[in-house]
Amino acid sequence: MLKGVAASPGIAMGKVFLYTKKFAEINTRNIDASMVEDEIAKFENAIKLTKEQIEKIKEKTEREFGKDKAQIFEAHLMLANDPELFDAVVNMIKNELITADNAVNQVIEQHASMMESLDDKYLKERAVDLRDVGSRIINNLLGIVNVNLSELDEDVIIIAKDLTPSDTATMKKDKVLGFATDVGGRTSHTAIMARSLEIPAVVGTGNVTQNVAGGEIAIVDGSEGIVIINPSDDILKEYEDKLNKYKIRIEKLKELKDLPAVTTDGKQSMLVANIGTPKDVEGALKNGAEGIGLFRTEFLYMNRNDFPSEEEQFEAYKYVAEKMNGKPVTIRTLDIGGDKKLPYLNMPDEMNPFLGYRAIRLCLDEKEMFKTQLRALLRASAYGNILIMYPMISSVVEVRKANAILNEVKEELDTKGIKYDKNIKVGIMVEIPSAAVTADILAKEVDFFSIGTNDLCQYTLAVDRMNERIKDYYKPFNPAILRLIKNVIDASHKEGIFTAMCGEMAGDPLTTVILLGLGLDEFSMSASSIPNIKNIIRNVSYEKAKEFTEMVLNMSTPDEIEDASRKILYDIIGE
pLDDT in tens, 57-78: 888 777 766 776 677 788 888 8
pLDDT for residue 338: 61
pLDDT score of 514 more than 60: yes
- Of 341 and 356, the structure prediction assigns the larger pLDDT to 356
pLDDT for residue 56: 85
pLDDT for residue 556: 97
pLDDT for residue 521: 98
pLDDT for residue 187: 56
- Of 144 and 496, the structure prediction assigns the larger pLDDT to 496
Domain spanning 2-19+148-235, CATH class: alpha beta
Task: Please report, in range form, the residues annotated as the binding site for phosphoenolpyruvate.
Answer: 296, 332, 454-455, 465
pLDDT for residue 532: 92
What band does 464 get if pLDDT is binned at 50, 70 and 90? confident
H helices within 118-182, ranges in order?
A: 121-142, 165-170
What band does 520 get if pLDDT is binned at 50, 70 and 90? very high
Q: Do β-strands 11-19 and 217-221 pair in parallel, antiparallel, or remain unpaired?
A: antiparallel
Across 319-336, average pLDDT: 96
Torsion, Cα of 554, 557, 559, 560 (10° steps) = -30
C-alpha distance from residue 524 to each of 100, 293, 313, 435, 530 (Å): 51, 5, 23, 20, 9
Question: H or E element: which one contains 50?
Answer: helix 36-65
pLDDT score of 316 more than 90: yes
3-state secondary structure of 223: coil
Across 203-232, average pLDDT: 93
pLDDT score of 182 more than 80: yes
Active site residues: 189, 502
The one-letter amino acid code at 150 reads S
Non-local CB neighbours of 260 within 8 Å, separated by 6+ positions: 268
pLDDT for residue 450: 98
Across 262-290, average pLDDT: 94
- For the domain made up of 263-573, give the CATH fold: TIM Barrel (3.20.20)
Question: H or E element: which one contains 176?
Answer: strand 176-181
Lowest average pLDDT, out of 67-71, 93-97, 98-102, 466-470, goes to 466-470
State how far Cα 494 lies from the chain centre.
33
pLDDT score of 389 more than 60: yes
C-alpha distance from residue 444 to each of 188, 497, 502, 518 (Å): 39, 9, 21, 20
- For the domain made up of 33-142, give the CATH fold: Enzyme I; Chain A, domain 2 (1.10.274)
What band does 51 get if pLDDT is binned at 50, 70 and 90? very high
Tell me if 188 sits within 8 A of 8, measured CB to CB.
no
| Domain locations along the chain | 2-19+148-235, 33-142, 263-573
pLDDT score of 145 more than 90: no
pLDDT for residue 542: 98
Burial bucket for residue 538 (CB in 10 Å: 0-12, 13-18, 19+): middle
Question: From CA 233, how far away is CA 216, in angstroms rounded?
Answer: 14
DSSP readout, 443-475?
A: TTT-SEEEE-HHHHHHHHHT--TT-GGGGGG--
Question: From CA 539, how far away is CA 245, in angstroms rounded?
Answer: 19
Percentage with pLDDT > 70 across the chain: 92
CA torsion sign for 193, 196, 197, 202 is: positive
Q: Supply angle C-alpha 499, 536, 273, rounded to 5.
A: 45
pLDDT tens track for 399-428: 999 999 999 999 999 999 999 999 999 999
Task: Please report, in range form, the residues annotated as the binding site.
Answer: 296, 332, 431, 454-455, 465
pLDDT for residue 146: 66
| pTM exceeds 0.85 | no
Half-sphere exposure of 419 (CA within 13 A, CB side): 5
pLDDT for residue 124: 66
Q: Which of 220, 184, 289, 206 is nearest to 502 (CA)?
A: 289
Question: From CA 209, how far away is CA 232, in angstroms rounded?
Answer: 20
What band does 481 get if pLDDT is binned at 50, 70 and 90? very high
Which value, in Å, is the radius of gyration of the alpha carbons in the chain? 25
Task: Please report, in range form, the residues annotated as the binding site for Mg(2+).
Answer: 431, 455
Mean pLDDT (the chain) is 90
What band does 166 get if pLDDT is binned at 50, 70 and 90? low
DSSP readout, 353-418?
A: GGGSS-HHHHHHHSHHHHHHHHHHHHHHGGGSEEEEEE-S--SHHHHHHHHHHHHHHHHHHHHHT-
What band does 27 get if pLDDT is binned at 50, 70 and 90? confident
How is the beta sheet containing 156-160 ordered, strand by strand?
Answer: 2-3, 226-229, 217-221, 11-19, 156-160, 176-181, 201-203, 5-8
DSSP readout, 251-294?
A: HHHHTTTTS-EE-TTS-EEEEEEEESSGGGHHHHHHTT-SSEEE
